[in-house]
Homo-oligomer: A and B are copies of this chain.
């Protein structure tokens, strides 16, 4: 699959846990045993196990072993860098994306600050609403550096921008910083969303960086109160 030995071990074990071949409370084979099974060194096995631990699959307990966690909910893939398309797959609901505005702009002062951009930079601006079970409950406002993504079409935006960037352009997302707050609804929310009487909205501000640490996108994702849910898995000192 992948070219990494530790990553393929991780994938394989994760799959076994996902499929219930190994169950919660079970104890994985010891690191020594696994290094024999996979014909690799113990350190390589440990990298795979650490990945499993970081992703909430197991808890390593000294002197005992690696316990599989009972995690139907635990590994809800909403945390971290998940795109709407991946998300809707997990939700398994009828979802649909509508592109309302699409084009190139020069950033206003607010956007200059958010994107650390210059006033004459070219920025893609995309306004989309997300429909879940027939209701428009999420408004996404995306701003992307043109110097990072030279071309973009309305069709790509209707599908998945991330898929295009990662699969087509071969760029790699490095990390992201999200901020969650609740704010009063704006006229824009009013215009594009089914407000359903709510006068506040959950705002997720997302700064996305590439592997070489350049900021390439700022997104404001506005969720209707009753449709917002976020799950986070955290380890001490991660």
- What is A's interface to B at a CB cutoff of 8 Å? 51, 54-56, 59, 61, 64, 67, 69, 73-74, 79-81, 172-182, 198, 200, 202, 209, 211-213, 225-226, 228-238
Residue of B nearest to A69 (CB): B213
Query: In the assembled complex, how far is the CB of residue A2 from the closest CB belonging to chain B, in whole angstroms?
Result: 11
| Across-interface contacts of A54 in B (CB, < 8 A) | 238
Do A56 and B234 contact each other (CB < 8 Å), given the known contacts A182-B226, A182-B228?
A: no
Nearest CB to that of A175 among chain B residues? B235
Copies of this protein chain in the complex:
2
Q: A211-B61, A213-B67, A238-B55 are in contact. Are A232 and B177 (CB under 8 A)?
A: yes
| Option from B176, B179, B212 in Cβ contact (under 8 Å) with A234 | B176
Q: Are A228 and B172 in contact (CB under 8 A)?
A: no
Cβ contact within 8 Å between A59 and B174 = yes
Whether the pair B225, A178 counts as a contact (CB closer than 8 A) is: no
Nearest to A215 among chain B residues (CB) is B70
CA distance A198 to B184 in the complex (A): 11
Q: Given A67-B213, A213-B61, A178–B56 Cβ distance below 8 Å?
A: no
